[in-house]
Amino acid sequence: MATLGFLAAVTVGVAATVLGLLGAVGRAWTLAVPWLVPLGGLELALDPLAGFFLALVGAAVIPASIYAIGYVGGERRGVLAYLGFVVAMCVVPLAANVMTFVIAWELMSLASYFLVLHDRQAGASARAAWVYAVMTHAGLACLLAGMLLLAAWTGSVRFADWSAAGPGLPAGARGLALVLLGLGFASKAGVIPLHVWLPLAHPAAPSHVSALMSGVMIKLGVYGLARASLDWLAPAPTWWGAAVLLAGTVSAVVGILYAVVERDLKRLLAFSSIENIGVILIGLGAGLVFRAVGLGALAVLAIAAALYHVVNHAAFKTLLFLGAGAVVHATGTRNMNRLGGLVKLMPWTAACFVLGAAAISALPPLNGFVSEWLLFQALLQNTRIARLELNLVFTLGLAGLALTSGLTLACFVKAAGITFLAVPRSDAAARAHEAAPSMRVAMILLCVVCALLGLGPTLVLPALAAIASPLVGGAPLPALGDWLTLRVSREFAALSPLALTTALAAALLAPVVLLRLAGAARGTRRYETWGCGRILQTARMEYTATAFSNPFKRVFDFFYRSEKRLDIDFHPESRFFVERIEYGNPTRPIFEDWLYRPVLSALSVVARRARAIQSGSANVYLAYILAALLVLLVLT
Amino acid sequence: MITDVVLALAQALVGAAGAPLLAGVLRTLKARLMGRRGPSPWQPYADLRKLLRKEAVVSTTTSWVFRVTPYVLVATMLVAIVVVPVVASRTALPFAGIILLMYLFLLGTFFLALAGLDSGSAFGGMGSSREVAVAALAEPTVILAVFALALRADTTTLGGIVERFAREPLLAANPGHLLAFAAFFIVMLAETGRLPVDNPATHLELTMIHEAMVLEYSGRYLALVEWAAAMKLFVFLTLLANLFFPWGVPDIVEPVPVLLGLLALAGKLAVLTVALAGLETIIAKLRLFRVPELLAGSFALALLSVTAVFLVP
Amino acid sequence: MLRQLHVALRTGIVTEPAPRDADVERLGVRLGDELRRVFGRSLAIRHVDAGSCNACELEIAALTGPHYDLERFGLHIVASPRHADCLLVTGPVTRNMAEALLRTWEATPHPKLVIAVGDCARDGGIFRGSYAIVGGVGDVVPVDAVVPGCPPSPVAILAGILDVIGRLY
């Protein structure tokens, strides 16, 4: 029964992919059912941008649903919510008026809310779902405010009318609408500091759902941002592009800083999603700035690079979440300090996870490298803008992107190394089993996608540029080289993934051949790990996730503000004997402490004040109504 | 196409065969400065030859990651050598820029750090953790420092930068160039595991970075790892020599200019090696947790050098 | 710092000429051509303290200094038995260190040499017969050469090592 549900989801995914790809190459399609819902009716429209995101959702749903067949193992609960979630995500990019959009958006949020609550016994899940519900509805409130304002100013609830009327609106109004819509979409995308729900909700959901939430749902926030600033309110002002770029930089750096010290595998992946959203926004922001200053070709390049990273992140983050899910399924824990040694027990999962980790660390010749390379090239060309303040913003973006790439590597060496390598750190990890066949198929599928996206940017990028081009006012397609070599701005930069891969493969063969030619000894003896001759060697002597990230905690101490807690129980007879030692070195979340806590406490103070007028007596309420009427009469 | 393949092979030959000599000369020079006679400059070759004839002892806790890593390391370094302008400003992969080069190094670091964790010993984990921490801070600095040059040369390909600066030396006459050089030099010390960041001759596990990760390697695997480390030193010194002092690097691939270019490179490398040996003699190793301050400082220098591109036209 | 460099440059080389064979008394060398062919001019040494009083350690430490400078012969001391070709064992093998010594020997890849340095390492020395020791190094792992002395001088140790690998410049 559950299997049937997931097969249905696969079908939806295939259909969405096909329809989306058709849309992405320029096939237009609309559907209007005016009587179905009030205020404009149901209205769907397919254009290249919508098609791109629709195809993205569909393509991620296919492996996630195949995976789910083995992962949930016939449990029926949650299947309906999953289907609803999938369908809602497919409808969001297609929505062509406010009502359709809001219904799809809310359905997507509600379905994922129930999926986060899936493990309802756990207190953490309940709290995660609660925070998620609050944040997503705060975001929705911003979205609704922005959309209703736009509807009021343009006199239409259809998005197409907004695009037409947008340029005519006063600058202040457009700015206000952009900020409101931006806040709403950014909260869904998990942009810092609106990210607090993400590291709670993504790990709490079942892994195939986490994969979709991290892989594609938050991308719909990016879709919204792109739609609002490149379509509805185009052309967006320069400051808006710069703001998006800076927000992306902050998200990227802060997201990865939190990820690198995390010891919960799925939370680590969730924080890394925040980082990748940041990277995408750096590209989008750069594109917006280029567009605003009239550099159309560069804007196309930056936006195409951002879209490339959207696809890539969907591929490897889905893969990594599925891998993490297989680990959780096999061991029952997400705490990396209790994992280890899984490479021998679940070799397929380990290989897929290592490949995903290499891809997300942007290592050549995989897909992450191509999109980061493109983003670097797009950012570097800010020299063509002759405005110092914008140049400095771009330089910050470059520095942030460079810093992020190094930290990502550290983060994923830790995730893959501590989880899968060496010796199991707990009995649960020692008894792990390989993932079910359907789970393996899904992961291998995604590995292939990661490799292909890394090899074929010369085919993919022109298609993405064709999607980006109409969004920046029909700027001409920049020349992007031939099938072999990707070229950026003629002589500025080039990349040939195929030549690079060939060179790497040849270079990998070289040491094998050379060793053979040199007549190297081929004997191998297996013996225990060198531990200075120590007789008792246990898994407790391995480095843990906490230990691994300690250098980062010390280096970025000003940011983590971690506190050391050492709690020792001595033996009653002598202080030289210790009964129990507890050591903790938790980081303090600065956004929760400095942003949310003041806001929430102010809110509760106001609420307490407001309680004074709530006496509970009907007479007093009647008096309020009378007073309100009088005031209104006097005012009008 | 054929020129490219020949060029690639020539560069790989020069780099792969010459790298151990560079490491050996550095060791001899350092010994001389300490008043010792020191090993012969050819010592690394004898070491490699010996390691190839020994069996390999592989830990029972390790997996395929451990065994694949030495090959990947050598492969990334070979490609890195092909990518850097060694004998001519044009390289076999002419598109290659600093981003590709840095990510190639990161590919090696990724596997080496995983291999360090794979052995399950505290030393390996410690080495990996420190190595990625250093790489995470050093790698963005290299990228930014070279961007400062790339923006002035208006191309990000390494060969293009070398050509442009060789043609117009005045481009280099600005404070940004100096800042970039300083940043790059500091990071070169960190990336190649030299003093004051890491001591290549240490025997004390607690102070190790690179060495701690490779404690488990033996026989042919160790030979590959050490060869790769020598190649990394070669690549960084060559990059420093040809990128910041691009004079003498031929822009055509013909036998005579290429040989002259090789001579020029040998001269520049000799100067750099002497400087490095002198530096390693007079400075002490930094405390491990002071290293990030050094690296953060060089990151700031690199950022300034990029900013200088806009501030000082 | 510059003063340091100045001193370094002015001092020049203080390394002594290599010792001659006759300076050293040597015992029980069992070494084939095969080993000589393998090691050539390169030998990585791992030092194992199996319970020494540290007198031998001081002499070994002197080897790495400018005076004796073992690096000029292609010898160097390494941090892991995995990298080593030769174990330089000092001290009587105490009961606590016997297992560790054996594991170190196992951890060293073939072909490998063991050199027992000092009288204690030969047969227990003044600790012979003590309940706390297992015996000489030879009682735990196969020994290729013994350098006697209490402690042996650095020249003797150096000559012992060079003798084992059977070559000098």
Helix or strand run (H / E) with residue C86: strand C86-90
Other Cβ atoms closer than 10 A to A239: 15
**Are the C-beta atoms of A413 and B132 separated by less than 8 Å?**
yes
* Domain final position from A445, A470, A502: A502
Domain membership of residue A105 (yes or no) is: yes
Q: Is residue C70 in a domain?
A: yes
In B, which residues are within 8 Å of C57 by CB distance? Answer: none
Q: What is the largest CA-CA distance in chain C?
A: 56
State the residue range of the domain holding C148. Answer: 32-164
On whether the CB atoms of residues C129 and C97 are closer than 8 A, the answer is no
Q: Are A210 and A191 in contact (CB under 8 A)?
A: no
Nearest to A533 among C82, C101, C110 (CB): C101
What's the predicted TM-score (pTM) here? 0.93
| Residue C27, pLDDT score | 41
DSSP letter at A119 equals: S
Weakest-pLDDT range from A3-7, B170-174, C26-30: C26-30
Neighbours of A180 (CB within 10 A): 21
The pLDDT of residue A78 is 84
**Amino acid at residue number A304:** A
Length of chain C: 169
Judging by DSSP bridges, how do beta strands A524-527 and A565-570 pair with one another? unpaired
Question: Is a pLDDT exceeding 50 seen at residue C169?
Answer: no
Residues of chain C with a CB closer than 8 angstroms to some CB in chain B: 1-2, 4-5, 8-9, 11-15, 38-44, 65-66, 69, 71-72, 74, 76-80, 82-83, 85, 107-111
B265-272's contacts with Cβ under 8 Å and 24+ in sequence apart are B265/B86, B265/B87, B265/B238, B265/B241, B268/B241, B268/B242, B269/B22, B269/B237, B269/B238, B269/B241, B272/B237, B272/B240, B272/B241
Judged by CB atoms closer than 8 Å, whether chains meet at C69 and B218 is answered as no
Distance from CA of A513 to the nearest CA of C (A): 21
* Best mutation target, A528, A529, A532, to test chain C (most C CBs within 10 A): A532
- For chain C, the average pLDDT equals 81
**Which ipTM value was assigned to this complex?**
0.94
Q: What residues contact residue C129 under an 8 Å CB cut-off, 6+ apart?
A: none
**Do A273 and A413 belong together in one domain?**
yes
Locate A347 and state its tokens: 């070799």
Structure tokens at A569: 């129980």
pLDDT of C20 reads: 55
Helix then strand count (H, E) for chain C reads: 6, 7
- Contact by Cβ (8 Å): A591, A196: yes
Report if residue A141 sits inside a domain. yes
Spatial contact of A78 and A138, defined as CB atoms under 8 Å apart: no
**What does the pLDDT read at residue C37?**
62
Classify C62 as helix, strand or coil.
helix
CA distance A529 to chain B (A): 5
pLDDT (average), residues B83-111: 87
Percent of chain A with pLDDT over 70: 99
Residues in contact with A541: Cβ distance below 8 Å, sequence separation at least 6, in sequence order: A531, A534, B120, B121, B122
Q: pLDDT tens-digit profile of A589-630?
A: 888 888 888 888 999 999 998 888 887 788 888 898 999 999
Structural domain includes residue A576: no
pLDDT tens profile A242-262: 999 999 999 999 999 999 999
Closest CA to A184 of A145, A151, A242: A145
Q: Residue C124 domain-assigned? A: yes
Query: CA B198 to CA C106: how far, in whole Å?
Result: 29
Per-residue pLDDT, A557? 84
Residue A377 predicted with pLDDT over 70: yes
**Cβ–Cβ < 8 Å for B117, B128:** yes
Q: Do A530 and C97 touch (CB under 8 A)?
A: no
Q: Which of C12, C38, C80 sits opposite B35 (nearest CB)?
A: C12
Q: Token digits for A3?
A: 């299997």
**Do residue B203 and residue C79 have CB atoms under 8 angstroms apart?**
yes
Q: Is the dihedral of CA A406, A409, A414, A417 positive or negative?
A: negative
Mean of pLDDT values over A56-79: 89
Which region holds residue A598: left if phi is over 0, alpha if psi is between -120 and 50, else beta? Answer: alpha
Select from A140, A47, A50, A138 the least CA-distant residue to A98.
Answer: A140
Q: Which amino acid is at A611?
A: R
C-alpha to C-alpha distances, A220 to A108, A170, A223, B175, B260, nearest whole angstrom: 10, 28, 5, 45, 58
Let me know: does A490 contact A498? Beta carbons within 8 Å. Answer: no
User: A294 in a domain, yes or no?
Assistant: yes
DSSP A228: I
| DSSP 8-state assignment for residue A33 | E
Is the Cβ–Cβ distance between A518 and B52 less than 8 Å? Answer: yes
pLDDT above 90 covers what percent of chain A? 50
Say if CB A39 and CB A157 are below 8 A apart. Answer: yes
Q: What is the mean pLDDT of chain B?
A: 88
Residue C18 belongs to a domain? no
Chain C: list its partners (3+ Cβ pairs within 8 Å): A, B
B36 and C15 within 8 Å at the Cβ level: the answer is yes
Q: What is the mean pLDDT of residues B82-90?
A: 84
In which band, very low, low, confident or very high, does the pLDDT at B4 lie, cut at 50, 70 and 90?
confident
For residues B168-183, average pLDDT: 85
- The verdict on residue A370 lying in a domain is yes
Residue at C122 is within a domain: yes
Q: Does A474 have pLDDT greater than 80?
A: no
Mean pLDDT of B39-45: 90
| Residue B248 to residue B235: CA distance in whole angstroms | 17
User: Is C143 an interface residue toward A (CB < 8 Å)?
Assistant: no
How far apart (Å, rounded) are the C-alpha atoms in residues C91 and A219? 67
Q: How far is A567 from chain B (nearest CA, A)?
A: 24
Q: Please state the domain extents for chain B.
A: 2-311
Count of other CB atoms within 10 angstroms of residue B5: 11
* pLDDT given at position B254: 78
Tell me which range, B1-5, B306-310, C12-16, is most confidently predicted by mean pLDDT.
Answer: B306-310
Query: Looking at residue C166, what is its pLDDT?
Result: 63
Q: How far is CA A467 from CA A189, A305, A446, A462, in A?
A: 21, 11, 24, 9
The mean pLDDT of B28-39, rounded to a whole number, is: 88
Q: Is residue C62 less than 8 Å (CB to CB) from chain A?
A: no
Number of domains into which chain C is organized = 1
**Considering its fold, how many domains does chain A have in total?**
2
- Per the prediction, chain A carries an average pLDDT of 89
> Which residues make beta-bridge pairs with A582?
A567
A490-536 pLDDT, tens digit each: 778 888 888 899 999 999 999 999 988 888 888 888 888 888 877 77
Instruction: Render pLDDT for B255-272 as a digit per residue (tens, 0 to 9).
Output: 788 888 888 889 999 999
Asked if residue A512 is part of any domain, the answer here is no
If one compares A116 and A166, the residue with the highest pLDDT of the two is A116
pLDDT for residue C168 is more than 50: no
Model pLDDT for residues A280-300, shown as the tens digit of each residue: 999 999 999 999 998 888 999
* Rounded CA separation B311/A57 (Å): 44
Residue C68 one-letter amino acid: Y
For residue B302, the distance in angstroms to the closest alpha carbon of chain C comes to: 26
Pairing of β C43-49 and β C75-77: parallel
Give yes or no: residues A206 and A349 share one domain.
yes
CA A72/CA B27 separation, integer angstroms? 60
- For residue A330, name the pLDDT band (cuts at 50, 70, 90): very high
Q: Is residue A319 one of the residues assigned to a domain?
A: yes
Which residues does residue C146 pair with via DSSP β-bridges, in sequence order?
C27, C116
The neighbouring-strand residues paired with C46 are C87
Q: Which residues lie across from C27 on neighbouring strands?
A: C146
**Cβ-count burial B206-232 (b if 16+ within 10 Å, e if not):** eebbbbbbbbbbbbbbbbbbbbbbbbb
| Residue A625, domain extent | 590-635
Q: How far apart are CA C148 and CA C28, in angstroms?
A: 11
Looking at beta carbons, which residues of chain A come within 8 Å of B215? 530
For residue C81, give Cα distances in angstroms to A499, B27, B256, C87, C158: 41, 22, 48, 8, 20
Query: Euclidean distance between the first and final Cα of chain C, in Å?
Result: 35
| Cβ-nearest to B103 among A369, A492, A511 | A369
| CATH number reported for the structural domain that contains residue C40 in this entry | 3.40.50.12280
Residue A221 has pLDDT above 60, yes or no: yes
Alpha-carbon Rg for chain B in angstroms: 19
Which secondary-structure segment (H or E) carries B57? strand B56-59
Element (H, E) at C45: strand C43-49
Within a domain: A601: yes
Residue A567 tokens read as 């709690």
C44 in any annotated domain: yes
Of residues B1 and B119, more confidence is placed in B119
The predicted-structure confidence for C84-95, as pLDDT tens digits, reads as follows 999 999 999 999
Q: Chain C contacts of A520, Cβ < 8 Å?
A: none
- Give the residues across from C135 on adjacent strands: C93
Residues 6+ apart with CB under 8 A from A184: A139, A140, A141, A142, A143, A144, A146, A224
pLDDT tens digits, A258-282: 999 998 999 999 999 999 999 999 9
Question: Are the CB atoms for A405 and B139 separated by under 8 Å?
Answer: yes
Residue positions counted in chain A: 636
Token pair for A490 = 């003629």
Mapping DSSP to helix (H, G, I), strand (E, B) and coil, where does residue C47 land? Answer: strand
CB A393 within 8 A of CB A300: no
Contact assignment for B205 to C72 by CB distance below 8 Å: no
Enter the DSSP assignment of A582: E
Rounded alpha-carbon distances, angstroms, from residue A209 to A121, A216, A217, A271, C125 = 18, 10, 10, 16, 71
Q: Both tokens of residue C104?
A: 């170190």
Closest approach of C96 to chain B, Cα-based (Å): 21
Cα-based angle A175, A178, A183 (whole degrees, multiple of 5) = 130
Q: Is residue C9 part of a domain?
A: no
Question: What pLDDT is attached to residue C35?
Answer: 56
> Cα–Cα distance between A407 and B132 in angstroms, integer?
8
> Which chain B residues have a beta carbon less than 8 Å from that of C77?
203
Residue with tokens 């209007």: A32
Among C42, C65, C71, beta carbon nearest to B46: C42
| Domain end among A480, A502, A524 | A502
